[in-house]
Structure 1
């Protein structure tokens, strides 16, 4: 229950962060600025967490190259996610983001050569059908550029998940979070002189909230996995459709159309089924081992 509460807190914080990004953009903030302050303001939170958890010496690593690759992929995914919430209403951006497990299944089959049966391929097709139902390309409800960016964001996030799976074999979660946050300041710091602007007090407040809620979300996501497996906490991620819808309405966005809810239902069902199949597949070797060694 503690892990579920942490994951739910993380999802709420992420929903707030993304809506703040949309509001900041409407006030003239460039997406690069939002990325910079998201990481810069989260870095002190991450440093305090690392210091309390294992000390700063615990972030030493021999895999700095892999961390750098994860940083570039993660930064690309974050940029695309921010842009998706700028270009699309929050509920629709969140819904398309739920396709990440679908892309994860495809990448695992193509790159990792994992066995993927008819069950998961069927879930993939259902998920993509949900996307088509939601966006209805013939109706022109949403800008296709925004839809393309949101799909690209989900794909990039799926790529990050594969790298994190590899890093997780040797690196603690705190090490991964620290190096992602710290290394990302290099390219963002180089880019900022070209995009930095003066802002009023309200806009600075939005940027502060982006960094604060983003940092808290990152820590809660990581901490949740210390108390429960992914299969237990993953369903909380889909509550984002509730929070982003409510926050969107609060800032003046229209209530999502019926097709959005139908598409979201199909996509969420697809993601949950994929997660369940992953859980069953992970248990099978353990059960087989126990049968061979009953003592």
Structure 2
């Protein structure tokens, strides 16, 4: 039997304080098949939907800079959308700590829209007060204070738009324990017991995507039985997660520096799961964040990966 939710068109309204990442979130949804409109005036939303639900999932970015924006009007719009049987609408609120927003405005040298002639912190305080009721009403709340743009896109994919709503998306990640666990992982596996390529001078400046590093890691007698057990476990749990309706499964491999062993394992596991028919994404957190400068710094510090 088809549920009412399955017959409704998806609609996502994204808002939050200025500087919290709305443009990044809108772009992430557009990349995942949504029709995306940023800085949408509230008064135009009913006219946009007057002819019926959109043909594709719709994402609207709502900003206090729009002349007709008002928290009460947004809440009334959400009530009206909730009463419709042809649309399923979610309000996504991108939150962020005040000190982080101040730093972002300072780095970009932008004026705050609610304090064009004052310091950004004045506008941030006004916006927090203005948006308090909207934040309380949000269906999905994402704190972007510690998120990079890449992290935010991943959170949007996980919480808002998993693979255009089709099936279970598996995210395989590598990371460094020194920098803490990535957000949103369902399973974490420690690779620090494997032989470390960092101590090989000809491999130290390479990473786990390099075939020579992968061969070194795989040469450890403990690698094959460990990998086979992990693959068997993941193959066992994924169908159960999919059956429960879970849209995202995050698995992380960690090692000391996040550049060699964990990367090699993620690179080996992802294609094996993809060959099984799962939708798989791969992310190497330390490689994404690091770049040449960070890699040079890691080498100079003598920190094992």
> For the superposition of Structure 1 and Structure 2, which TM-score range results when normalised by the shorter chain?
under 0.3
Structure number with bigger Rg:
2
Higher normalized helix content (fraction of residues): 1
- Greater relative CO (CA pairs within 8 A, separation 6+): 1
TM-score (norm 2): 0.24
Higher normalized strand content (fraction of residues): 2
